[in-house]
Structure 1
């Protein structure tokens, strides 16, 4: 009798749930426990700070460290990726809520956040069902750099009022609204808040530079809470965050009031969520680990958002900084993420009153330092050195983000990428060689598509007209692995043009799948009957038929 564990259904179930535990070794457990605790010390205060970017209660960020992270740990394929919210996602969330007319800023999480996170998850799920994992990743690196610059500048400026002692957060209203709010806040700046902000930022930057393994966010948060508990800050006018409720998130229903207004933002967030997750998963993958499956990551990110939405979480994605902390601390599997989840649950159950002592300026400092890192000067300089075109793409996307808003910047980034793809597809790639006095070989250097088929035909005919005495043209189509109706019609038109000039067209090197599609046309069957289809170019030049090219 066979072992039940070897049955295909059981193996499939094991592969679907907790795939990073496959081949798990006992000696990895200590590293995972340490990594999960270390990452939790960074990601939990960071996620709470990111919630304030969207003017949401800090518990929304805390909840995002529980449910989405747990779901991804069960379904995702990256061993060390930590999934909660990111500065980019939080900023787009803020912009979306503001543009939809959703009023946040109260002590309660608005139900429209549930709707937004659910929409993001559903869009990602639809993309997964359509197997668009690879398509989303065509957005090029310069576009991402530009969006990150827009996010970094917008959020950094938006935090200035809080760093100066004001509670307002104009991040969702755009870069220039943030500049205006900072200028307005200057006359009312609180000296004690400024000192706390400056000290917090200095500690974060210095520890990142000289003590990278120490969880600086946890140190800064603990320091702010200790000062508040000692009664030093409140008499000096330093604002604390809103009270944090003690307990775990409870299921809630979405609101349908602003669903139409939230949809464009949800689409932009979904694109960025998957781009960030895919980039992080690939960036932290170590040699020897299983390759990153884009469609699997798409499904895992979709599920994390759909399930998370029911528990009032922010839209979730893989974060590079927290994932890097996780990996550098020795994470070998998603067990580390489960440890972080457990830590977040403990914080929610027991530390609500303690977190309520957190100064607003301390959270703003965490956000400020995190988003300033998005303005990657080295990456900009490198892009400038490599490609001026890519530099201007990055700069254009960044300017659009600052002037027209981040949602428009994401849409512009997608359109720019699609335009670049179309330009690449429209390029003509062919070579014409004279093999014998009366025979020329036209070799295709790339695929044929609607965008470049007609231009390729014209280029081939122009080159052939320059050759005298040509009676036979061999089309080397070995590079083709797919053909469309447009491409087939182009072949037919090329055959007619050459025939009118007294030149015979021969096809060579066709892939079996391509030959099968062509075989559905009367024109190609005629070529086969006339013995004008060959397996190799040499056979075609020699005129030695070797079947119909389908072998």
Structure 2
């Protein structure tokens, strides 16, 4: 590959090698995804208390930038209910005249956070966040969004307070006597239509059907005069440049970081779920870059933070999308809507968007997922429960933070145990960490054989050293040597060398020799720079294979495996 092509590998990766025969399928898929994503994004803007035009604009520049930078061929990007709710949580309590500027500053900050994460190559680290955390956050999002849409669906007027799920639910219950009958009936029909079409005709763009039918109803009847509330007028034209509010940045950084993490996770999860076997693997660092620039560009053009959405991506894939040319088509469709259909969209009832949001978030609440976690992993189950409880009481941004902290705690706990496990002769030769199998010879006498699962670092150095000494002291008869097999060790660390040197000294006091076997050649080469390892090598205690180490120990029968 020449230098020029190497420099361009980051640009439009999904369009590389594009074939003209794909164009028709991509254009049709982009249009199909657009009729889902445009009304959904407009509806999600209302979650954050923003004009629907902000949701519409989120389908333009962010979609365009992801299409040029994203690695997934069929992912459809706009905003999602999770991101909209987190944005609403971050901006709760702000005056309306400050809300728009703070929103766009937050979106740009999300982009900056994602780009910094890419520069630090943190993609694989962020992906370690527990799925149980996502389950808890999504449940909190689903329930919180559902209850915030009830006043719109029932025609209530309730105070806009940051009281969390239970406070909002109490406000809704208290306002039930003021339910507007026409709005409630309209909402029930809209929700029912969306649910029926989703189940019976999944290829039909249900969102577009409800939006179009609602606009026709307003145009042809007097429902507006009867009290059916419409959305705020949608301005015609494209968004203007929105510079960040520099004084808002310090206070928005924590929220931007939490939203960036969730936007990245949602995007990667959907991209991997959509990937076909013939497509390249999803590169987490490439996705950080793509979503980061999409958010940064969106923040400068009056948008919500973007992320990959499952529903529109599924439509995109199902309609035959081959590349991000479909995403470019969706962006063009959004531009045409903004330029020519804004007056028509202004005739849309607010309850129609509320119905779209309600149906979209219902799927986020998944009791079977909690049941699965309870059956398989009680620890992960409680992570999901705690994250959900925090999301419903303290708020969704604290829930994301708590979920990240819990995940890091569980990861550290898991990898901070001993890296040493018993090693047994295999039934057909070789060595295995499985307990003795039928037909396997007995372990050699006078030896303790152990395998290192992973390399040793600060967290697991002492537990590993303690486990090896415990195995030696428990062995009967008392062993003369320990064979430590390190085929799984991939790199040399200072804790690895220090732990082995300390272990060697402890074993020597017990009259036991430490033998090192099967460490990868590159690990052995690097470790020779350490005086202790070089000394062990000169003494003939470093072997290429376990068989060589066992033979050198001169043991022929018996067993000493813990």
Same fold (TM over 0.5): yes
2:529 is the counterpart of 1:535:
no
User: 1:407-429: per-residue Cα shift (whole Å, max 9, x none)?
Assistant: 11101111111111112102324
The 1:16–1:426 alpha-carbon spacing in structure 2 relative to 1, beyond 3 Å, is closer
Give the stretch that moved more between structures: 233-242 or 80-89: 233-242
Unaligned runs of 5+ in 2: 425-441, 555-562
Counterpart in the other structure of 2:401: 411
Contact kept? 1:431, 1:444, Cα under 8 Å: no
- Could you tell me how far apart the structure 1 residues matched to 2:252 and 2:161 are? 17
Counterpart in the other structure of 1:26: 20
Contact kept? 2:448, 2:471, Cα under 8 Å: no
- Displacement of 1:13: 5.2
- Could you tell me how far apart the structure 2 residues matched to 1:543 and 1:329 are? 65
User: 1:145-173: per-residue Cα shift (whole Å, max 9, x none)?
Assistant: 11110000000001111111136685965
Task: Compute the TM-score of the two structures, normalised by the length of structure 2.
Answer: 0.91
Counterpart in the other structure of 2:95: 103
The 1:49–1:324 alpha-carbon spacing in structure 2 relative to 1, beyond 3 Å, is same
Indicate which of 55, 59, 62 corresponds to 1:65. Answer: 59
- Could you tell me how far apart the structure 2 residues matched to 1:325 and 1:94 are? 27
2:478 is the counterpart of 1:455:
no
Indicate which of 211, 219, 240 corresponds to 2:201. Answer: 211
Contact kept? 1:32, 1:335, Cα under 8 Å: yes
User: 1:237-265: per-residue Cα shift (whole Å, max 9, x none)?
Assistant: 11111111110011121112332221111
User: 1:446-498: per-residue Cα shift (whole Å, max 9, x none)?
Assistant: 44332222112111111111233422222112221123222221111110011
Q: Map 1:306-455 onto structure 2 (within 5 A).
A: 306-428=296-418, 429-431=420-422, 435-455=443-463
Contact kept? 2:142, 2:362, Cα under 8 Å: yes
2:183 is the counterpart of 1:175:
no
- Could you tell me how far apart the structure 2 residues matched to 1:102 and 1:515 are? 60
Counterpart in the other structure of 1:523: 532
Contact kept? 2:15, 2:324, Cα under 8 Å: yes
Counterpart in the other structure of 1:50: 44
Counterpart in the other structure of 1:94: 88
- Displacement of 1:501: 1.6
Counterpart in the other structure of 1:495: 504
- Could you tell me how far apart the structure 2 residues matched to 1:168 and 1:309 are? 30
Counterpart in the other structure of 2:3: 8
Contact kept? 1:51, 1:60, Cα under 8 Å: yes
User: 1:262-308: per-residue Cα shift (whole Å, max 9, x none)?
Assistant: 11111110000000000000001111111111110111010101111
| Secondary structure, aligned partner of 1:440 | strand
Contact kept? 1:507, 1:540, Cα under 8 Å: yes
- Could you tell me how far apart the structure 2 residues matched to 1:223 and 1:266 are? 37
| Secondary structure, aligned partner of 1:204 | helix
Counterpart in the other structure of 1:232: 222
- Could you tell me how far apart the structure 2 residues matched to 1:281 and 1:432 are? 40
Unaligned runs of 5+ in 1: 1-5, 546-551
User: 1:367-416: per-residue Cα shift (whole Å, max 9, x none)?
Assistant: 11111111123333333333333222222211111111101110111111
Q: Map 1:157-172 onto structure 2 (within 5 A).
A: 157-166=147-156, 170=160
Task: Compute the TM-score of the two structures, normalised by the length of structure 1.
Answer: 0.93
The 1:171–1:360 alpha-carbon spacing in structure 2 relative to 1, beyond 3 Å, is farther
Counterpart in the other structure of 1:511: 520
- Displacement of 1:76: 0.5
- Could you tell me how far apart the structure 1 residues matched to 2:213 and 2:160 are? 27
| Secondary structure, aligned partner of 2:515 | strand
Contact kept? 1:128, 1:299, Cα under 8 Å: yes
| Secondary structure, aligned partner of 1:526 | helix
Misfit runs of 4+, over 6 Å? none
The 1:438–1:378 alpha-carbon spacing in structure 2 relative to 1, beyond 3 Å, is closer
- Could you tell me how far apart the structure 2 residues matched to 1:228 and 1:498 are? 85
- Could you tell me how far apart the structure 1 residues matched to 2:31 and 2:471 are? 67
- Displacement of 1:338: 1.0
The 1:294–1:286 alpha-carbon spacing in structure 2 relative to 1, beyond 3 Å, is same
| Secondary structure, aligned partner of 2:516 | strand
Counterpart in the other structure of 2:557: none
- Could you tell me how far apart the structure 1 residues matched to 2:329 and 2:125 are? 33
| Secondary structure, aligned partner of 1:257 | helix
- Could you tell me how far apart the structure 2 residues matched to 1:319 and 1:458 are? 48
Give the stretch that moved more between structures: 403-412 or 166-175: 166-175
User: 1:81-106: per-residue Cα shift (whole Å, max 9, x none)?
Assistant: 011100000000000011xx4323x6
Contact kept? 2:158, 2:175, Cα under 8 Å: no
The 1:84–1:168 alpha-carbon spacing in structure 2 relative to 1, beyond 3 Å, is farther
Counterpart in the other structure of 2:270: 280
Contact kept? 2:472, 2:478, Cα under 8 Å: no
- Could you tell me how far apart the structure 2 residues matched to 1:312 and 1:155 are? 22
Contact kept? 2:194, 2:207, Cα under 8 Å: yes
| Matched positions, count | 535
| Aligned residues: CA RMSD | 1.9
Counterpart in the other structure of 1:154: 144
